Structures are given as structure tokens and as C-alpha cells.
Amino acid sequence: CSRRKERWIKDGCAFQGNVSVWDGNVLRLTGCVRGQWLVQDIADARCEAWNSSRRVSQAQLQRRRCRVSAAARVEKEREDGLGASSALSAVSKDVSEIERFSVLLRRGVAAVALGVVLATGAPKCAHALSEPQKLVAEAWRVVNQSFVDQSFNGVDWFKIRMKNVKKPMSTMDDAYETIRGMLKLLDDPYTRFLSPAQLESLTSAATGELAGVGVQLYPARVDGELKILNPIEGGPAARSGVRKGDIITDIDGESLDTLSPDEAAARIRGSPGTRVSINVSNSSGDRRVDLVRENLRITSVREELVKRPSDGVLLGVLDIRQFNSSTADDATKALRSLQAAGASKYVIDLRNNPGGYFPGGVDVARQFLPKGVAIVYVADKNGVQDEYETLEDGPLCDAPVAVLVNHATASASEILSGALKDNHRATLIGEQTFGKGVVQTISELSDGSGLSVTIARYETPAHIDINKRGIEPDVFRSCPDSAPPISCLPDA
């Protein structure tokens, strides 16, 4: 608790402002800092009270209760709509008292104020948080510290904490449901809770190694459905006739109505040798497919040297199926091989690429860009933009490039597409892309579960926000998913 309190003080609590006690166990501090009205809370400050060796007389507590009441009055006025400026002016006469309290806070005795609403002496067991409640509080803190939308979708995020942490919870499953309910209020499909099994599954997918039946789903529901983006070539699903575009309607007989694509994928994956049954639907009807899970290695990059029939030019085709932690290295090796084989022009096929590992898209773009140009701009929760740029000429910075995209080209593949288009290094051919212009980070919680939290938005080098809009190709051209890349080129 001491370490947590010190961090809050360092990061913003040690300022001239108001101090109030909220709900008996959370210290709330409010004040005007850099022109913004801030509300900070020290959620675990009460721990300091139990361990404090400092004892304060009842008379001292009475005097501090008076100061706390004044600050609480200001807090109420702010909530009633008087605004930060009027609230601060209302207590200008109490500044010296509040400053004195702030000094006490910096000395590490903030918990004294908590004695106003808590009985003095040792804590009772009834006040202790259960393990499920602690997990809910931990998840709340992760989102509070990193979620890109600091308005929290218009929700009072502090009150959400107080409401949900106090819920009676006896099992971790209770905590999981509570966390899911909190995250649902943010209305962000990419900020989600991950059970321990889902976290392990997602981590495996990021490294390209997993056990399952070999299907990739669209990153978000398509018309409300869980749609198969790609069956992995040679995997159990592909061998059983599962096709691109099929819709999964249930897994082992259980409805998927409330599941995200990631949650459904986690249910499909499992230990090698175990069985799973999926019901798939397409224009031909419904059918149930019984499958045995296998260890799978996702090959994210494939290359091919193709001679164009019209003029005999050797084209280096780089087919990127998704982005994981090995994609950039695999792409570099593939491009060197194509260059050595005599390729003079290049085609990057990103059709049905759902994205994945953010740095993968950035690093592949570096291969084709000159020194000193922007690849992508990333804006965090404070609106601060970070520019990813090239530091040197890429090995293929002068080579002609075409990029094939479609409605399922998303996320990291849109970063690559946008970087090459805006820097006039490639011609985009195909359809409007998916439009996922946000970045997530995965945080593991103390019990092995995790959170995927949207921490940033990104823009293309031309400062275009593509989220929910996508990238418009230079050449609109319908090209079936099964068509060879060279057949999609206008001059093929």
C-alpha cells in the first residue's frame, strides 16, 4: 500500500487542491491541474491506516473532520454543476487548511483522514476484500490507467469501481462476469476480458503456435455472425471441407450469441487430440463437423516468383496471411529470396489478412520505404502522438509495388497498406479495407486471466483516421479470394 500511495502522490496527488473521504475506504483528491479538473483516488489507502504507528487524538480527528467536510462540500457542488472554477473559489478561504492537509499526505499519513468515517483501531474482517473482489479492483485499475477514451464512453468510471468491487462474490467466475459487465459499458469491441484459457490461446496465436482445428475468424462479427476468414491450409477444418465465408453457429452444441470472435476461437482451441464439434452454415445449408484438435504452426508468409504472361516480367509475390511476432523476419527472408531470384516488381497480397502483431506491419513497411518518412502515427489516451518513421532506406525502397486488399484486410495489414499508399510507394488494388484503426495491449491479471485494452488510435502518414472507415484503394477491382494474385492486377 505504501508503494501504491507514493506513486499516486508522485503522479498527481501532491498538488494544492481538495481532499475528501469517499465511501470509507477510498481517498479521493480533487483539484485544478494544468487547467483540468482532476479526480484521483487512492483505492488502497486504508491499508496505510491499519499499519500506521501514528496515533491521533479525538480532538485532532474532529478538526480534520471539519476540513474534510469543507472539501466534500466542494465535491458536491462540482457534481451539482457549479464547475471547477466556482468550486475552487468557494473554498479559497480554506486553502491554508487544505495545504496543511496536503503536507500531511505527502508525509505518508493520508490514512488519518480515513479515520473520520472508519472506526479507530484494527480493521474488522468484514472490510477485507475477497480474492474475487481484489481481481475486479485490479481489472478496473488496468482499464483506468490505459484505456484510450478517458471519458470512458460517458460512464462515471469511479462509481463503477465502487459499485462492482462491493458486490458479493464467492468465486473467480463471479469476478469474471463482473469484469465483463464493467467492460461492456465502454462499448469497445476490442476491450475485453480474457479467461486464463483465452489468454493462453491468444498468446499462442501471437507467436504462431497453437493447438486447434485451423480456422481464422474475422476480427469482429460480420452482420452479427461469426464468419470464417480463412481455414488454415492442411488443418483439420480445411480437410473436412470447412470453407472461407462459412458461419459458425455453435460449438459443442452451445450457443455463441454472446461471444466475440476471440472468445469463440478460444473455445475451439484446446489440447491436441481432443475433440470439438462445430456447426457451420453457408448457402448450401447447415452441417455439423466433428474435428480433432492438432498442433498447428501458422505460416504467416509465403513467397512465389511468377512470370507475367503479357511481358515476361518476373514478379515477386509476397503473400502475408497474418502478422505475428515472426512475420517481419519471415518477410525479410522471403523478399531477399525473391530479389536474388530476379524479381523486378513486387505484389503484396493482404487479402483476408486480419492483422495481428502491430510491430509486424510497421517493420514490413520499412522494407519498401526510403529514409525519414512516417509509417504511422499513434495517439495515446492523452492525445499525445508518437510517430513511427523509417531510419534508413529500405532494401526495396525504389522497387515498383502493388498491394492487394479487400474488405477483410484489417489492423496491422492496414498499417502496411496505409504507409505504402500515403508515401506513394505502392498502388492499392481491390476493395475498401475493414477499418480497424485502434491498438490493443494484453495485460495479465494476478490469477492468470487477462485484459485486452484499447490503448491508442492510429492514423496513416497523411493523418487519416481509418477506424470504422477503412482505406480506399487506388484501383477498385473485385478479385475472388481464391483467384491467384497475378490475376488481380489490372495489366495482367
DSSP letter at 125 equals G
Would residue 436 show up in a list of annotated catalytic residues for this protein?
yes
Instruction: Considering the candidates 422, 443, 449, 452, report the single residue annotated as catalytic.
Output: 422
Query: Side chain identity at 321, as an amino acid letter?
Result: R
- Distance, in Å, from the CA atom of 61 to the CA atom of 58, rounded to the nearest integer, reads 5
- In this structure, the strands spanning 26-33 and 254-255 are unpaired
Cβ proximity of 356 and 388 under 8 Å: no
Would residue 411 show up in a list of annotated catalytic residues for this protein?
yes
- CB proximity list for 372: less than 8 A, separation 6 or greater: 389, 390
Q: Computed over its alpha carbons, how large is the radius of gyration of the chain?
A: 28
Tell me the C-alpha to C-alpha distance, in Å, between residue 38 and each of 66, 85, 230, 253: 22, 12, 47, 49
Nearest 5 degrees, angle CA 479-CA 366-CA 482? 15
Tell me the C-alpha to C-alpha distance, in Å, between residue 303 and each of 131, 306, 374, 468: 51, 10, 27, 31
CB atoms closer than 10 angstroms to residue 179: 25
Instruction: Considering the candidates 411, 413, 443, 449, report the single residue annotated as catalytic.
Output: 411
Tell me the C-alpha to C-alpha distance, in Å, between residue 283 and each of 250, 286, 412: 17, 8, 31
- Distance, in Å, from the CA atom of 54 to the CA atom of 380, rounded to the nearest integer, reads 41
Would residue 422 show up in a list of annotated catalytic residues for this protein?
yes
Instruction: Considering the candidates 5, 134, 421, 436, report the single residue annotated as catalytic.
Output: 436
Query: Side chain identity at 67, as an amino acid letter?
Result: R
- CB proximity list for 371: less than 8 A, separation 6 or greater: 390, 391, 392, 393
Helix spans in 286-440 (H):
327-340, 358-366, 412-422
Burial-class residue 72 by CB neighbours within 10 Å (0-12, 13-18, 19+): middle
Residues annotated as part of the active site: 411, 422, 436
